[in-house]
Each structure stands twice: as structure tokens, then as C-alpha cells.
Amino acid sequence: MTREEIFKSPAYWTAGLQMELYRQITAFMENRHMNKTQLAEYLGCTKGYVTQLLNGDFDHKLSKFVELSLAINKIPEITFSDVDEYILSDEKGYTLQTTSLGETEVSSELSYDYLLAA
């Protein structure tokens, strides 16, 4: 599979969001010295559900993703970038940033997105 095919794959972006939610939840737990049982009580769900979250065994509706994010005191910010511009910037080592007006800006900083690890 080429990088272009990967970047156009819904599974790639879904996995990236799942990994970021996992990272945020584990950081939340560590900062508050919580175990799975305590997190389940905090979220009002079962320990089994928390285990699913931490194992990446979920594919939430967007509303649930937002709900979980807010429950751990995080605001989920989603940006949209043109696929072709993203691929081009990745090849050149640039980072794309989207302004509040939805315009794409290119930064010359060399940066590797956590999603590339997916």
C-alpha cells in the first residue's frame, strides 16, 4: 500500500483518532492516579468498557467520542486538510495547519504526526 493509499484510508484516520483518545485517557488516569475501576466509576460505565477503550477495541459514533473527550476534560479539535496537499506536505516534511476560517497554511517545520505511527 502506498503512502497516498494509506492517507486516503478511513481505517488509518480512525486508528489515529482511537490512539489519541487512548493517549488522552491514559494521561487522565495517570494524572489523577486512577485505575480502571475508578475511571469506570468516573465515566459512569463498566470496567469492561474501560478495558475496551484501553485496548482500542471500539469504533464510536462521533457523539460518543466527543462525550468521552469532554468527560476527561479535553476538547476534541478536528481539522480538515486537502488530501493531495497533505500528501505533498508529508513528502516534503512540511506540516499543514488549518486556520479557524478553514484555510490551509503550510509550515516549514519538520514534524512527524502521531498518526504516522498508525
In this structure, which amino acid lies at residue 75? Answer: I
Lowest mean pLDDT across 59-68, 83-92, 108-117: 108-117
pLDDT band at 108 (very low <50, low <70, confident <90, very high): very low
What predicted TM-score, i.e. pTM, was given to this entire model? 0.66
Which of 32, 33, 30, 21 lies closest to 57, judged by CA? 21
pLDDT band at 118 (very low <50, low <70, confident <90, very high): very low
Q: Is residue 105 within 8 Å of residue 98, measured between CB atoms?
A: yes
The per-residue pLDDT for 44 is 93
List residues bridging with 97 in a β-sheet.
105
- Helix, strand or coil for residue 102? coil
Give all domains of the chain, ordered by start, each with its CATH number: 3-71 (1.10.260), 83-117 (no CATH)
The per-residue pLDDT for 39 is 96
| Residue reference for cell 478553514 | 102
**What cell was used for 94?**
512540511
Given a cut of 90, whether residue 40 has pLDDT beyond it is yes
